[in-house]
Amino acid sequence: MVTVNFSTILRSITNNESSVSIEFKGSIRSLLEALSNRYGETFSKRVLDNGQIRRYINIYVNGEDIRFLQGLDTELKSTDVIDFIPSVSGGC
Amino acid sequence: MTFARRLICTNCNKEYDLSVRNACGNCFAALNVQYDYEKLGRYLREKIETRSHNIWRYKELLPFYNGSVGIHSGFTPLRKAHRLGEKWGLKNLFLKDDTVNPTGSFKDRPASLGVASAVHFGLEAVGCASTGNLAAATAAAASLACLPSYIFVPNGLDSSKLDTTRIFGGTIYKLGDTYDEVNRKANLIADRYGWGIVNINLRPFYVEGSKTLIFEILEQLNWSHPDHIVIPLGSGALLDAVNRGYEELISLGVVSKGDKARLSGTQPFGCSPIVNAYLKGSNEISPIKYPDTIVKSLAIGDPASGYEALDIIRRTGGWGDNPSDAEVVEAQLALAKTEGLFVEQTGGCALASVKRKAEDGKIDRSEVVVVALTGHGYKTLDTTRQFLDTAIENSESLEIAV
Ligand SMILES: Cc1ncc(COP(=O)(O)O)c(C=O)c1O
């Protein structure tokens, strides 16, 4: 089971779910597909921009930004925790 | 009275009531506060000049005026640097000396607004994710508002930054090795607890406080435009706020439309994701995983307002520059020895860039240059000590009878 957490602002596209645990194997890209099946097409439409992660969203696997891993091709293990967080937060 | 009307998305222009949120629910981009400018312009300039000397001097252009919080912040001196200017061949070098804010950095400006907005929304505690300066600023503003503060920082900060935060009663949590890791965790904390984390869920209001820096610069120049303004960049939020405040005064007619200054940004070589994109002519900002610089305040590898900052530099005809740590320290000490002012490495970074640009002709000898000195040197004594070249002598070297 991977656990996926959504920061508050993203819950508008997850039917208000803050966290979900799902049986899953594959890459972040296919995780997005699985989540789209769960939440509807608007989910990937709002998360992706021209096939890339929208600039205003960061995705982390076990605390590591996927831009420092293999991006959308990052492969997930069954115990991974994935966080979706808006990137505009913070700024020292 | 405020003329703040609504939040508007910087990307898709969707509008929201003034409320506790950090980003657009439609596209997740940043939100800015919007004002009713027309009403405002007519009466602003003369009103401002009668006000007391703190950030609330410009209260119509800020959300949530609060008569307690922020009263000691802002209206810092704009100093003419005669001797340093002479050394570097600049006739009109001005220093916006934000080191004299109550906790020694410009962060007292946005922190005051962040805490004032927490009071407005009736929140029970405040906090921040910080590279060190926002930490003390948030704790101090919280003490004015009688609120507890929870401060999230990375490991390895100068002890003076931690101690000043504790003096104001802030509770410190070290959440990781880099600012970006701390920031990610602070986001999760903001979701979990009902606290106002000033630079996360109060961010739209927080960043407004930094506009007062440019309001003051323009007022102190008699509402005329300088040629260059040089701003150190961490997340890029300060430059973004400076530009927005500048545009507001232009659209209000408080300053004239033509001749807006070039806005430039500086980051240390060991952590310059925004400047790297500028220098490469790229539209993509690549995050830096492990910042490697003594300029800790600017060690933000994944700048939240990076794209905005990059765009502002390009649109205003400014430049991006990234001096080495050695140049940073050299400029920091040059300032101390010519002007008697002690700034932290961030100021050294901005000054090092000015020196470079004076040398390569990007800044003309007679142009008016304003450099933001955003933090006091006492904040980074631990880091600075290693570069000092004067010894502490013992008494035997003096010819006196003991
Ligand atoms: C002294 C000082 N100057 C400048 C900055 C950069 O500000 P920003 O993150 O808004 O770009 C910081 C950030 O912490 C700072 O502490």
What's the confidence (pLDDT) of residue B2?
Answer: 82
Helix axes B306-315, B273-280, angle to 10 degrees: 40
Contacts of A56 in chain B (CB under 8 A): 11, 23-24, 27-30
Range among B46-50, B92-96, B296-300 rated most confident = B92-96
pLDDT for position B42: 66
| Contact: B188, A83; criterion CB under 8 Å | yes
- The CA B140 to ligand 1 mean position distance, Å, reads 17
Helices B159-167/B133-144 angle, 10° precision:
10
Predicted confidence at residue B99, as pLDDT, reads 98
Mean pLDDT of B141-161: 94
User: Which residue of chain B is at minimal alpha-carbon distance from A87?
Assistant: B304
Instruction: Identify the pLDDT of residue B100.
Output: 98
Q: What is the mean pLDDT of chain B?
A: 94
Quick one: pLDDT at residue B108?
98
Percentage above 70 pLDDT, chain B: 99
Q: Which residues of B touch A65 (CB under 8 A)?
A: 180, 287, 289, 302
Q: Ligand 1, residues B105, B272, B349, B383: which to mutate, most atoms within 8 A of Cβ?
A: B105
Q: Cα(B153) to centroid of ligand 1, in Å?
A: 14
Beta carbons of B187 and A18 less than 8 Å apart: no
B37 pLDDT above the threshold of 80: no
The alpha carbon dihedral of B141, B239, B288, A32 has a sign of positive
- Average pLDDT for B300-310: 94
Identify which has the larger pLDDT, B170 or B258. Answer: B170
Q: Where are the domains of chain A?
A: 2-86
Listed in sequence order, the DSSP H helices in chain A are 28-39, 42-47
Select from B25, B207, B304 the Cβ nearest to the Cβ of A12.
Answer: B25
Instruction: DSSP for B154-215, please give it.
Output: ETT--HHHHHHHHHTTPEEEEEESSHHHHHHHHHHHHHHS--EETTTTTHHHHGGGGHHHHH
Among candidates B173, B192, B180, B248, which has minimal Cα distance to B218?
A: B248
Q: Does B169 touch chain A (CB under 8 A)?
A: no
Residues 181-240 of B with CB under 8 A from A: 181, 183-184, 186-188, 190-191, 199-201, 203, 207, 234-237
The reply to whether residue A58 touches residue B183, judged by beta carbons under 8 angstroms, is no
Write down the domain spans for chain B: 76-389
- Inform me whether the C-beta atom of residue A63 falls under 8 Å from chain B C-beta atoms: yes
Average pLDDT over residues B229-252: 96
Taking 60 as the threshold, does the pLDDT of residue A92 lie above it? Answer: no
Residue A58 C-alpha, separation from nearest chain B C-alpha, in angstroms: 9
pLDDT at B393: 84
pLDDT band at A90 (very low <50, low <70, confident <90, very high): low
Q: How far apart are CA A11 and CA A23, in angstroms?
A: 21
Write down the pLDDT at residue B285. Answer: 95
Q: What is the pTM of this model?
A: 0.91
Question: What's the CA gap between B61 and B210, in Å, rounded?
Answer: 11
DSSP bridge partners of A81: A3
pLDDT of residue B43: 74
Distance CA B160, CA B136 (A): 10
Distances (CA, A) of B232 to A83, B119, B333, B373, B375: 30, 30, 17, 8, 10
pLDDT at residue B402 greater than cutoff 60: no
CA of B88 to the centre of ligand 1 (A): 25
**Is the pLDDT confidence value at B126 over 90?**
yes
Question: CATH for B76-389, among 3.90.1150.10, 3.40.50.1820, 3.40.50.1100, 1.20.1060.10?
Answer: 3.40.50.1100
The whole-number pLDDT of residue B45 equals: 86
CATH topology assigned to domain A2-86:
Ubiquitin-like (UB roll) (3.10.20)
Which chain B residues touch A68 with a CB distance below 8 Å? 287, 289
For the CA of B235, the closest atom of ligand 1 is: 9
pLDDT at B391 over 90: no
Which pLDDT does position B382 carry in this prediction?
87
Specify the pLDDT at position B131.
Answer: 86
CA distance to partner chain B, nearest, from residue A69 (Å): 11
Of the listed ranges B84-88, B172-176, B212-216, B398-402, the least confidently predicted one is B398-402
**Which residues does ligand 1 sit against, CB inside 6 Å?**
A 91-92; B 105, 107, 131, 133-134, 232-238, 297-298, 346, 374-375
pLDDT of A89 reads: 67
Least confident of A60-74, B349-363, B387-401: B387-401
B4 pLDDT exceeds 80?
Answer: yes
Q: Is the pLDDT of residue B242 over 90?
A: yes
